[in-house]
Amino acid sequence: MNLKDIIKELDIELYIGSLEKEISDITYDSREAMQNSLFVAIRGYSVDGHDYIDLAIKKGAIAVVCEVIPEIKVEGVTYIQVKDSRMAQGFIANKFFKEPSKRLSLIGITGTNGKTSVVYIISRILEKWGKKTGNIGTLGNYIGENFTEAKNTTPEAIDLQRMLSQMVEQDIEYGVMEVSSHSLSLNRVVGNNYSIGIFTNLSQDHLDFHLTKENYFQAKSKLFNLTHKANIINGDDPYGIRLIEKLKKHRDIPTYSYGITNKCDFLAKDIHIDNKGLSFLLEGENIKENFRIGIPGIFSVYNAMASIISCYIEQVPIDIIKGALKEIKAVPGRLEVVDTNTPYSVIIDYAHTPDGLENVLKTIKTFSKNRLILVFGCGGDRDKTKRPIMGEIGARYSDFVIVTSDNPRSEDPHSIIEDILPGVEGGNCPYKIIENRREAIREALSMGKKDDIILIAGKGHETYQILKDKTIPFNEKEIIKEILEEDEKNGKYDTGRSKKCSKG
C-alpha cells in the first residue's frame, strides 16, 4: 500500500522524505522490520521504540513514524513526526489492513471481571448456530485453526488489526474479543467498528496504571463510543448505571441494561444454583425463557445474561442459545474442577481482584460440604492497594489460607506476601506462608480430607509464571497431577511456617 494512503488520517507535525512509497508491511517491533516496511516507534513501559529506529532501518524499513525525528537521518528513509505514536499506530494499522472490523460482526466485552467468560460463552453459542468465530482475549487468540498465546488481553494495534484481517481472509463472520482498559487508554483499538459493546462490571483493579477508579471507569467507557448496533450494560453495577445514563444522553444506538436486583431491560428471575450449575428465567424485550448453564455462581447469571442478550440481538434462535448454554460445563481456568480422583476436590480459578476472589469463594461456599482451603498470591508490578483487601477476603471466606507467590515479575515475592498479610491477619483464620507456589500447592493437597475443596486462585488458565526477567513453565493442572503421583510414592508431609490468626 502507498505510504501516502496509509498516513492520510494522521495529524502530521513534520515529515522528511518522499511519501510516494509502496509499503510491504508495518511493525512496532524493530526485530520484525523487513524490506520496504514502515516502523512505528512507540514509547513502552521499559523500552522506547525511538532507540531502535536505526535497527529497524538496517532490517529494511523505508519509513518511520515517530514523536521525535532522529538528528542523524538515513538517506532514502522517510521520517514522519506525530504528537502521539500510539494513536498514530492505531490509524495506520486500521488503514493498512483495509479496516477489517467493518467486514466483520465484532463484539467487544469490557469490565473488571467476566470478560473472558462472556467471550467464551458467546463464541460457543455462535458456533452452535453454525457461524465461524474468531476470539481475541486472555485465553489466547483463535483465528480459524490458528492459535497464538495472548501477550496482552487486547493486542497492540498492529497485531490486533492483523488478526482481524486474518479473520476476514478466512471468511470468519464474528470476532468476539476482550477489550481491556489498557487498550482503550493506549489507543490500541482506534478505528475498530464494534457492532455490540458489553460492560460486565467495574471493581478495584489496575490502579497502578489508572491511578484512580474514576480514570479506570472513563477508560472502560471509551468502548461504547465505538459501537454501531447496540450496547449491553450491567444495570446492577453502580458504574454500569452511570454508563447507561451517559449513553442514553449521548448515543443514538440502543442501550440495553441487564440485572437481577435493579429495574433493567432484561431481568433474571427464579434463580436456582447448585454445585453443577444454575438455572434462571430471563424476562425482557419480547423474551420470557428459562435457561440453564453448567457453571455455578451468581456471577455466572450475569455472564450468561450478557451473552444471551448479545446473541438475541444478533437474531440467534432461542433454542440454539439454550442448547449451547446447556453444553457449557466450565470456562477454562474459571471455577474449573481439576480431575484428581481424590476424596477432596481441587478447583483452579483466575480470580486476581478482590471482587473476583470474593465471588468465587462465596460461590464455592454454597456447595462445599467441609473445609475450603485457599491457595493464592498477588501479582507483582500491579496495584498494591488490593493486596491486603484480597488477604482479608481470603481469610473471611476460607477455613485455611496458604499465602504464596503469583507472578511476582520484578518485585520481591516476599515483599508482595508481606503486603497481603495484614488483611489475612485481621481475620479469624489459620494460615500458612509458602513462597514457592508449587510447594504451596503441594501443602494444600497434603492437607486435603474427604469433602474438602481446595481453591488455587490467581492463575487459572495460565501455563507460566513470571519471575524477574524470565518466564518459566507453570501449568497448575499438570503440577497438581505430578504432585499427586509423587505423593502416592512418597507420602505426604508438612512444610512452611504456620500461624493462627486472631482478630485485632
| pLDDT tens by residue, 470-493 | 999 999 999 999 999 987 777 654
How far apart are the C-alpha atoms of 489 and 492, rounded to whole Å? Answer: 9
Q: What is the architecture, at CATH level 2, of domain 336-500?
A: Alpha-Beta Complex (3.90)
How far apart are the C-alpha atoms of 193 and 178, rounded to whole Å? Answer: 14
pTM of the predicted model, to two decimals? Answer: 0.87
Question: Any residues with CB less than 8 A from the CB of 478 and at least 6 apart, and which?
Answer: none
Superfamily holding 100-327:
Mur-like, catalytic domain (3.40.1190.10)
Give pLDDT, residue 477: 95
Q: pLDDT tens-digit profile of 371-390?
A: 999 999 999 998 899 999 99
234 — phi, psi (to 5°)?
A: -70, 110
Residue with cell 471455577: 335
Give pLDDT, residue 287: 95
Give pLDDT, residue 44: 84
Give pLDDT, residue 145: 84
Question: Measured between alpha carbons, how far is residue 289 from residues 119, 305, 317, 327 in Å?
Answer: 22, 12, 12, 17
Cβ density class 236-275: b for 16+ within 10 Å, e for less: bbebbbebbeebeeebeebbbbbbbeeebbbbbeeeebee
Dihedral of CA atoms 15, 18, 24, 30 in degrees, nearest 10, equals -40
CB 335 within 8 A of CB 368: no
Residues (pLDDT < 70) of the chain are: 204, 206-210, 491-504
Name the grid cell of 428.
479469624
Name the grid cell of 269.
428471575
> Per CATH, which fold does 3-96 belong to?
3.40.1390
Give pLDDT, residue 207: 64
Beta bridge partners of 349: 457
Q: Where are the domains of the chain?
A: 3-96, 100-327, 336-500
